Structure 1
């Protein structure tokens, strides 16, 4: 009887999955006009993108995590030492059960009322309690070497990815004339270079999602999560619905500025401030041109307006454009922060910091706070040769 029940349950679950797949992949959701998925079956002339082509991204994402681990320790660490990147000595906070409990369960930044209450419970002065929390926060913050390793890994990836994109696109007519992106859509044959480019990008962003709990957390942590998932959703959908031509161009314009950002971070961590500042200014310019100008006025215009010449709007059309708009809103958010930094860099006389950074509070020999600058995560800015700031 139990075996029969188990068989019935498995059959019921299998039926639900099959029904969901039929509903989710309904022709009218993802394809224009009277086309069906049967029209996108491989033949002697065309090979079409399929969901199964992306299954390989999962093991490749795991391999990338392994490669990253080896790279950060065998390559990035020696390079950091060569450039003089050293860890800052941190004073380990004295263990206190009451303060530790408040830190882990209530707040890492207590207000004055909380400090006064903890001061009475622990028979400590308010200044001692503040100092304890300051040291405890610093104790959890990643060191400059960890940040250097992460930036180095991302720089190498973006260089490889951007190069792959240029090689795959430079001889394609739709790279120069965006209207040709929709010629014959969606019956456009998949190219091997497109498959490699997509697998590389999706695997990388999937690896970032898998490692995000271990990576350096910044103030825009939630925006980064949204960005990673929106990017994965956009890439996966554009592949399955054969929006591959526009998808490769979107990836390329994103990688262009990321290369400069990671370069600026690396030289900032190495305290090559003038060089880092110059790269950051170029990064800001490229970011604004590619993501605030080209992305909405060329790319989204291409996906929103040109398709009407070939087919009537359908759900996939609206879904694809909605995800692009989400990315645009994130670009505007980050662009605003970047322009604030550039404004201070060009016109300000005071030091500034990365608006997203989790600032480290330095202590002098007596334990008094002497600075709230995050030396690892910002680039100093002043009129006499200061620096920019980084973000992503």
Structure 2
């Protein structure tokens, strides 16, 4: 059965154009081709990046946060109450009014005290400002390093300037060492993000982030095995270019360099819209939809690769909507938060005051920090 599954999985018609077989992509005459087994290196690379991230945040980002005076807010700890704790952990973090009344009867506490307990308990689970700063610093460092490495790997390649060169001699294109390391680092990074989801800052677009990471890893794996490496490197470089500015704006915002952060956010918005909504669909996706048909008939891999690119495009449109809302608020009002953040609550606010504050916050503020992958 395993042999049958393996034969179906590596069926040449799924991965390669007609009249091309795996034997055509065996190393010979000084030409080296990408192999699926090389992707196994992405997992140890991810573990190394997690270790590097720990060291970076502990010995670079945290001292920098302290030097810039970035401190966590002092939070009041919720009182010990097994009944409320059990409800909080097993049923709901935000109880309804009916639940609050029921809990008041079980604990003999007044409603106000129960509501304050839940607000304090929710605040205890929210990440502090220093944690947010360290995460943004690490991502900014990686994206900047990856973008510089990508430009170095691509600057002298003809397909960077003429997209038709991407398909020259496809799929019999020899793999370059720079392409291998670029892929390995990018895949290792996105695997590390999936592995760290449980202890990273959780945003409101958490599900979209998971979809993005999985789609990216699927796209990179497939493009590597099918030798879509040239277009893959361009897609990675395009994404990294705006992510550097996004994370940099976050870092400066946490450090209270608001004017600089706002300026970078505006540049990021322009670059994001230009790369993700213009260049990506009208150049790169057009390149993968149209130019290959000049050389070979469509096959499963052709459709699959393009569908995955469209999935990324849909996510870009979603994030572009969030970014547009933030830009609107930046131009016409004051930015005071992050639309994707789980905002800290004030212990003194009543539920009515909480709703009023949340409505005011959504209407007047969101620092431009939507995640654009």
Residue 32 of structure 2 is aligned to residue 17 of structure 1: no
Q: How does 1:89-238 map to 2 (within 5 A)?
A: 89-238=74-223
Q: Secondary structure at the match of 1:78?
A: helix
The Cα of 1:120 is off from its aligned counterpart by: 2.0
Task: Give the stretch that moved more between structures: 122-131 or 206-215.
Answer: 122-131
What displacement does 1:123 show?
Answer: 1.6
Which residue of 2 is the match for residue 390 of structure 1?
369
Q: 1:272 to 1:379 in 2, by over 3 A?
A: farther
Structure 2 partner of 1:358? 342
Contact 2:164 2:291 survives alignment (8 Å): yes
Output the CA distance in 1 between the equivalents of 2:362 and 2:132.
14
Q: In 2, Cα distance between the equivalents of 1:65 and 1:151?
A: 14
2:51 to 56, 60, 66: 66
- Pairing partner for 2:330 from 345, 368, 381: 345
Give the CA deviation at 1:176.
0.8
Shift of 1:45: 3.6
Note the alpha carbon deviations across 1:121-142, whole angstroms, 9 max, x for none: 2222222211111111000000
The partner residue of 1:267 within 252, 256, 277 is 252
Report the TM-score, using the length of structure 1 for normalisation: 0.90
TM-superposed CA distance for 1:112, in Å, is: 1.3
Structure 2, unaligned runs of 5 or more: none
For residue 282 of structure 2, the aligned residue among 285, 297, 307 is 297
Post-superposition offset of 1:276: 1.1
Give the conservation status (yes or no) of the 8 Å contact 2:154–2:160: yes
- Compared CA separation, residues 168 and 379, structure 1 to 2 (3 A): farther
RMSD of the alignment, in Å?
2.2
Deviations 1:261-285 (A, max 9, x none): 1101111111111111111111111
Q: Take 2:290 and 2:8, find their aligned partners in 1: how far apart are those partners?
A: 28
Distance 2:286 2:351 in 1: 56
| Aligned counterparts of 2:260 and 2:357: Cα–Cα separation in 1 | 23
- CA drift of 1:223 comes to 0.7
CA–CA distance in structure 1, aligned partners of residues 327 and 138 of structure 2:
26
SS at the partner of 1:247?
Answer: helix
Contact 2:116–2:348, Cα closer than 8 Å, also in 1: no
Aligned residue-pair number: 368
Is the CA contact (8 Å cut-off) linking 1:344 and 1:352 kept in structure 2? no
Moved more, 317-326 or 349-358: 349-358
Structure 1 residue ranges without an equivalent (≥5): 1-15
Provide Cα deviations, 1:72-113, integer angstroms capped at 9, x if missing partner. 101111111111111111111001111111111111111111
Larger relative contact order (Cα-Cα within 8 Å, sequence gap ≥ 6): 2
C-alpha distance after superposition, 1:207-256 (max 9, x if no partner): 11111111111111111111111101101110010000000000000000
Q: Distance in 2 between matches of 1:368 and 1:168?
A: 56
2-side partners of 1:380 and 1:156: how far apart? 32
**TM-superposed deviation, 1:17:** 2.5
Counterpart CA distance in 1 for 2:288 and 2:82 is: 58
Contact 1:31 1:314 in 2 (8 A): yes
C-alpha distance in structure 2 between counterparts of 1:379 and 1:200, whole Å: 37
Deviation at 1:379, TM superposition (A): 12
Asked if the contact 1:273/1:380 (under 8 Å) is kept, the reply is no
Range that drifts further, 47-56 or 255-264: 47-56
Q: 1:19 to 1:305 in 2, by over 3 A?
A: same
2:298 corresponds to? 313
For 1:230 and 1:160, locate their aligned partners in 2 and report how far apart those are by CA, in whole Å: 22
